[in-house]
Structure 1
Amino acid sequence: MSAVGDRLELTIGPVAHGGVCVARHQGRVVFVRHTLPGERVVARLIDVRSRFARADVIDVLDPSPHRVAPACPYAIPGGCGGCDWQHAEAAYQRQLKSTVVGEQLTRLAGLQREVAVEPTGTDLGWRTRVQFAVDDQGRAGFHPWRSHAVLPVERCAIAHPAVEALDIEGRRWPAARAVEAAVGVATGSHSVLVTRSDGRRRLIGDRRLIEVVRGRRFRLRPTTFWQVHPAAADLLIGAIVSGVTPAPGERVLDLYAGAGLFAAFLAESVGSSGRVVAVEGDRGAAADASVNLAEFDTVEVRRADVAEFLAAAADRGERFDIVVADPPRTGLGPPNARRICALRPRAIGYVACDPAALARDLAVFSEAGYQAVSVRAFDIFPQTHHVECVAILRPEP
């Protein structure tokens, strides 16, 4: 096998999870970035392992008809590592993501399911939360693919205009290692969190962001998790509520509740005779949820580790009609999936930002008697390989 830095002429095969496509050289798999299926390219090896290698494109000899010029000058081989698919038409990006979701469901969960990734309507200028790295000269930028180096930039094509208006890239940030910008688009609230090289933090701007979803206001700390696409919260609320169909009087468990987004609309649905328990492990996010859900006498916010809460609930023999979970990228994991099933809900709503983690957990749910009756996917991270999925599960008859 050739060594790192060598050039290979490759014929590109199918898309793979992670924003790359698959090629083969001398019987070994090569994951190649900045390519599209069917292309013939010259690529440079950047990582060589015993079973596979990674490469980035140098030249495209035979381009795909779906190839376009990137909107961002940094979305090129050797450039910013954030956007994986700017060289592809937007509709074709969603087609590639649909292929990845379907492949992960088939390979890891045994589900033969075609899932069309649904558009959000905004493919550029959407990201309302951006974390910049800072180089040793105080310039803001991003990391290249699989690198800790910092590439200074003048602007980010996927950053929301309100983020760009903060002029993070146009300023110098001495003694800083990271700068995080966040905006509340509907209200104009904004904050900049500067992390110094010694770990200390400094906040510029609003101490609380205000987000508005379906007429409801949510107050949250700049560090509290919130979906980064302006359309995401509304899309996910619609998918969850229509999927689990909460009814008046039902008991609902909202896991990884964050600032209380799902809990608020679930509480509206179950009404004054129902109950919602919102579980969040982060102290700041739990405090935000308590404020955002204060109007509901039927909502209880618990600051607790999700695994510990589920284990204790199962030991107590608690039952919930509905469980909603929005875990981090690593997913629920088999123990938590089994603990949720032990609560015997009639419906489970699972929000996942990694189709591989989702598929692995769906396999566990299936073993425990719960089947995915629907899986939807949303393109709330356009230009990147990330995709948000919502699975609705119900017990087998």
Structure 2
Amino acid sequence: MHQPSPRLTVTVGPVAHGGHCVARHEGRVIFVRHALPGETVEIVLTEQGGDAKFWRADVTNVLVASPDRVEHFWPEADALRAGARNVAPVGGAEFGHIARHAQLELKTAVVREQLVRLGGLGDEEVTALFARGVEDVDAHGTPEQRAGLRWRTRVGFAVTSAGRLGMHAHRSNTIVPIKDMPLAVPAINELALWELDFTGIERVEVAAPANGSGVLVLLAPQGQASEKAAGAAIKRVARALAALDTPPSVGRWNPENHAVDVITGRGWVRESTDDHEFRVSGDGFWQIHRNAPKVLTDAALGFLLAGGYVDDGAEVADLYAGAGLFTAALADAVGPDGSVLSVEGSPNASRDARKNLHAASQVTIAQGRVEAVLGVKSHGPRARRSAAAPRPSFDAVVLDPPRAGAGKDVVRAIIAGNPQAVAYVACDPAAFARDVKYFSNAGWHIAGLRGFDLYPHTHHVETVALLVPNGLKG
């Protein structure tokens, strides 16, 4: 529930990274969600404080609307309907009030701004690199898909105190009960999980591969529950799921150590691309948009192949490799005479990669921190090479770090391997821009850049860049 904080009227300024726009009130910066640039809106403060550098707010009423404002497709996530009831909207669809073309324009503006402000690039350079802007990947789907719906193959849910399925409000412990998840692929909604009693369960994770190979439901019992109570809750929900016309696999899940105890079916899902199949365990990482594996592989490998950086016999690396999506494509590209070092920190994901790539003799799977595998012994400004681990060298690298980015140590270690190109796959524009600055300081530049709207109706955006040493055009 919103606290009864003052409702203010503000004129909204430009979009900013993070899913909000910037407004000002009596000199105070306010990050406003569910707004559009140029609008005049009434807002309710969700985070405030006299000594805070900025405040946060949700829109509750629109006085002067942008022509790009549309009716939100999801009532539970609609800030205007939620504000009228003095409740918080569910998170995860903060751009749902914005026309699809305008979402692309705003995301393009955010990527540009981050590259200029944090990456140190000039406006003209960014304009030339990013002329296409953020691209729509759903243009040829079904009508619902073209509208930016039914794309999520993985969804995490919370559970209300009454045992009903829900999702969190933004930056809040408040859980909003839901009766639909319009962004999820049909196989997830067909489970109708909102009709079940999840009393005793704290979190529910659902994975439904786009290839239709079977759904996996992971249940995390409440942490304070006794083993007897937790077991009873798991069994009750598993029985309800087993009664469905197409029952999913069910596992008991420990979010802290990522352990999955199979209750029914199997504790992993089968993902696929045009050329490969992948086992992905439990809560293991896989791109969540149904088109993302192909879109990102085509973009990253496309840059490397077109530039001649990867060919038969090349020595390459896939860093933060997960279950091996890019590793498999690289193995095909370099052939049996080449080599691929596939590095992943998660033990579960690394085991998946070994299973997925066991037949590719040119692939070496290394489980551990990227810094350690590449020969960096310590972290921070004094990072240095480990004498016990000679630093490998590569012709090219695919770099797909987590949301926080690669960081200075990893960038330094990559450059020390003397690659001629890095295909950087980024899910956060700010982290990406900071890493671009690290590469730039070491004498590298962006030679190619694409952006993809793989998270419609949210502020998130995926970018793929080709980075090369200065002197090479890409």
Smaller-chain TM-score range?
Answer: over 0.9
Give the superposition deviation at 1:54.
0.9
The structural deviation recorded for 1:294 is 1.4
Alignment of 1:9-48 (within 5 A): 9-48=9-48
Shift of residue 222, structure 1, vs aligned partner: 2.4
Q: 1:71 aligns with which of 62, 70, 73?
A: 73
Deviations 1:138-164 (A, max 9, x none): 111101122111111001110111111
In structure 1, stretches of 5+ residues that fail to align are: none
Q: After superposition, where does 1:42-191 map in structure 2 within 5 Å?
A: 42-49=42-49, 50-77=52-79, 78-111=88-121, 112=123, 113-114=126-127, 115=130, 116-121=133-138, 122=145, 123-191=148-216
Which residue of structure 2 aligns with residue 236 of structure 1?
296
Partner residue in 1 for 2:312: 248
Q: TM-score, normalised by structure 2?
A: 0.81
Do the aligned partners of 2:376 and 2:413 also contact (CA within 8 Å) in 1?
no
Q: Which residue of 2 aligns with 1:380?
A: 454
Q: Normalising to structure 1: TM-score of the pair?
A: 0.96
Deviation at 1:136, TM superposition (A): 1.6
Distance 2:55 2:446 in 1: 35
Partner of 1:324: 398
Structure 1 residue matching 2:76: 3-state secondary structure: coil
Hey, what does 2:409 align to over in structure 1? Answer: 335
Alpha-carbon distance between aligned partners in 2 of 1:187 and 1:67, rounded to the nearest angstrom: 35
The count of corresponding residues between Structure 1 and Structure 2 is: 395
Superimposed CA distance per residue, residues 270-296 of structure 1 (whole angstroms, 9 cap, x where no aligned partner): 111100010111111111111111121
Written as runs of structure 1 = structure 2, the 5 A alignment for 1:349-388 is 349-388=423-462
Please give the secondary structure, in 2, of the residue aligned with 1:311: coil
Preserved CA contact (<8 Å) 2:35 2:59: yes
Question: How far apart are 1:128 and its partner, in Å?
Answer: 0.6
1:257 aligns with 2:282: no
Is the contact made by 1:137 and 1:174 (CA closer than 8 Å) also made in structure 2? yes
Provide the rounded CA distance (Å) in 2 between the counterparts of 1:30 and 1:120: 32
CA drift at 1:137: 1.5
What is the CA-CA distance between 1:187 and the residue it aligns to?
A: 3.3
CA RMSD of aligned residues (A): 1.6
Paired AA for residue 110 in structure 1 = G
Q: State the Cα distance separating 1:209 from its structure 2 match.
A: 0.8
2:282 aligned with 1:222, yes or no?
A: yes
Task: Check if 1:392 corresponds to 2:433.
Answer: no
The CA deviation at 1:311 is: 2.1
Q: Are 1:196 and 2:198 an aligned pair?
A: no
Q: 1:341 to 1:4 in 2, by over 3 A?
A: farther
Between 1:306-315 and 1:359-368, the stretch displaced more is 306-315
* One-letter identity of the residue aligned with 1:193: L
Amino acid of the residue matched to residue 283 of structure 2?
T
Counterpart residue number, 2:343: 279
Relative to structure 1, the CA distance from residue 271 to residue 176 in structure 2 (aligned partners, 3 Å threshold; closer, same or farther) is same
Identity %, equivalent residues: 42
Question: In the TM superposition, what is the alpha-carbon distance from 1:4 to its structure 2 partner?
Answer: 7.2
Contact 1:28 1:53 in 2 (8 A): yes
| Cα distance in 1 for residues equivalent to 2:120 and 2:4 | 36
User: What is the distance in 2 between the residues matched to 1:208 and 1:181?
Assistant: 11
Residue 148 of structure 1 aligns with an amino acid whose one-letter code is: N
Unaligned runs of 5+ in 2: 80-87, 139-144, 225-251, 254-260, 378-384
Task: Provide the rounded CA distance (Å) in 2 between the counterparts of 1:19 and 1:393.
Answer: 27
What secondary structure, in the 3-state scheme, does the structure 2 residue paired with 1:74 have? helix
Tell me the distance in 1 between the aligned counterparts of 2:9 and 2:369.
50
2:289 is matched by which residue type in structure 1? H
What CA distance in whole angstroms lies between the structure 2 residues aligned with 1:303 and 1:312?
15
The letter for the 2-side match of 1:71 is F
> What amino acid sits opposite 1:248 in the alignment?
D
Asked if the contact 2:394/2:419 (under 8 Å) is kept, the reply is: yes
Aligned AA for 1:69? E
Maintained 8 Å contact 1:4/1:47 = no
Following superposition, the deviation at residue 265 of structure 1 comes to 0.6
